Amino acid sequence: MYFTVSMAMKPAVRTVWNALSGSAGSLCDTHLRELFAADPRRFSRFSVCWNDWLLDYSKQRVTPETMGLLHELWHAADVAGWIARMRAGEAINHTEGRAALHVALRHPAGKGPILHAGHDVMPAVHHELERMQRFAAEIHGRHWRGATGEPISDVVNIGIGGSDLGPRMATQALAAYRHPDIRVHYVANLDGADLATVLATLQPRTTLFVVASKTFTTQETMQNAASARHWLVQSLGEAAVARHFVAVSTNLAEVARFGIDPENAFAFWDWVGGRYSLWSAIGLPLVLAVGFDNFRKLLAGAHAMDQHFFAAPPAENLPGLLALLEIWNSNFLGADNRALLPYSQSLGLLPRYLQQLEMESNGKQVDRQGLPLECATAPILWGEAGTNGQHAFYQLIHQGRRLIPCEFIACKQPDFDLPGHHQKLLANCFAQSEALMRGKPLAEITAELAAGGMSPEQVALLAPYRSFPGNQPSTTLLLPRLDPHTLGALLALYEHKVFVQSVIWDINPFDQWGVEYGKQLANRLLPIIEGRTATGGLDSSTAGLIEACKP
């Protein structure tokens, strides 16, 4: 299945796109086993090192010609020019009239200005980081006391989307670095079960809530915050709210109305999208979980990846290579999904985090000119930590007859070093990528079973069930270890990958109007479900569902 390029795309992009279509056609009957057999240097030809990282894409269905064309696509789409626009603070989020300056959040102090609307944003960024550092020192030093004079032992972050997934994922990823005296919990779902099960394990007098909402009006977040407030007030009284709630918001009036001292509200800015906001005050619960020094290392890792992305040519650019390879798989080989397979339990939430980052960013139907796209964008992302996934869905990848590009992530060194575990984990990771590439042909299975003494009749019966087509493309990203610096670089890598793809697809990755539409409809239906207005004007299905829920 091949897609044509949008007629709105530049002629230079169209020319390369058509050449890539031809390259895909010439490769359709070539197996990865053949590509490896024909080139003993395939691994060194199709792998890239950055510092002590290794990106091995030799198991992708590509040739030198393919990669050359993909690099041409980078240049034809003017990726470098768009990087410059982003760094200059231009309103590249054109549908909302906003810049996208998440790179400023990890830009070191004293390393030059980053401008937005002619003003340097770095003083404000580092002012807020210093406030986060001081607050974390108060909590960790047991100087911040609750209403009864006791120190805080548990922190509950109440947010949703980017105000939840980023810090939640990073807190789990950096479990080896957690502060010993603080437990951090996350609540996001509007379903009361999410909040209720967390509160059941806590004591009001030692619990601090972080309410993360830029506008302080997000329905899910504010309902959970109101319920948490009620739980606290029932036990400690109204005056306790100021000592047990802090906010991450820009709406200080609503923060104060809730009962939170505006001095305990941490700011971020409209040039930071929610799914790019981990590096801002949205990361406050992560700071409380692992300490500010480790948060600084996270920022430093992201900044290091920023510098690599800005400077490296496409043939050596890790975010660029991941972006181009996925475009190849999706738009030219016909894959409509990708499996993300981290062989790290600590990275177990990474697939969920990247689902939002990638599919909310690039799940679009029109280009930057508002014209319909003629190519698919943002393949469906799914996955699970290895080795759990091997006992769940790998059967489908091996024998399900779907093209499922796989992305393996592994660490050379473990974050929890229990004897006998890590070598087995790596063996499984590397074996799966090899099996997906090689497969096991019917003739090989037949000879193997016959050599084992099986009768010809049994061989003929069983061999088809035990053969594997292989030829499933995969990439392996091998990291030195999972620490704050590495995690920061890894997350920045995927941010930049998404941006490169958006440039080539000519879409805006920083808005999310599909999300907003669902919120509008929910607000319209709520008074009907509550019985305050009639069901008139609804379609029969929606009206019927509401009617069925009435007592």
44-89 pLDDT, tens digit each: 999 999 999 999 999 999 999 999 999 999 999 999 999 999 999 9
Which amino acid is it at 219? Answer: Q
Would you say 364 and 377 are in contact if contact means Cβ atoms under 8 Å apart? yes
Could you confirm whether 364 is annotated as catalytic?
no
Is residue 360 annotated as part of the catalytic site, yes or no? yes
Name the residue among 128, 124, 151 with its Cα closest to residue 138: 151
Please state, in angstroms and rounded to a whole number, the distance separating the CA atoms of residues 33 and 59: 9
Rounded CA-CA distance 58/61 in Å is 8
Residue spans of the chain under pLDDT 50: 1-7
Contacts of 38 (CB under 8 A, 6+ apart): none
Domains of the chain: 11-86+312-505 (3.40.50.10490), 108-290 (3.40.50.10490), 513-548 (1.10.1390)
Query: Cα(397)–Cα(239) distance, rounded to whole angstroms?
Result: 56
- The residues that bridge with 154 in the sheet, in sequence order, are 183, 207
Q: What is the pLDDT of residue 8?
A: 66
Residue type, 332: F
Q: What percent of the chain has pLDDT over 90?
A: 93
Q: What is the pLDDT of residue 551?
A: 86
Pair 341, 407: CB distance under 8 Å: yes
Q: Which residues contact 146 (CB under 8 A, 6 or more apart)?
A: 152, 205, 206, 207, 208, 236, 240, 243, 244
Q: Report the alpha-carbon distance of residue 403 to residue 377 in Å, rounded.
A: 16
Q: Catalytic: which of 391, 412, 421, 424?
A: 391
Residue type, 467: S
What angle, rounded to 10 degrees, do the helices at 64-76 and 484-505 form? Answer: 80
Q: Is 130 a catalytic residue?
A: no
pLDDT at 408: 98
Q: Distance between CA 171 and CA 182 in Å, rounded? A: 12
Distance separating alpha carbons of residues 331 and 16, to the nearest angstrom: 13
pTM over 0.85: yes
Three-state SS across 269-318? Answer: CCCCCHHHCCCCHHHHHHHHHHCHHHHHHHHHHHHHHHHHHHHCCCCCCH
Helix axis angle, 219-236 relative to 192-199, nearest 10°?
A: 30
Angle subtended by helix axes 292-311 and 318-327, to nearest 10? 70
Q: Exactly one of 360, 384, 407, 495 is catalytic; which is it?
A: 360
The residue from 94, 119, 424, 519 that is catalytic is 519
Q: What is the pLDDT of residues 152-183, one digit of tens each?
A: 999 999 999 999 999 999 999 999 999 999 99
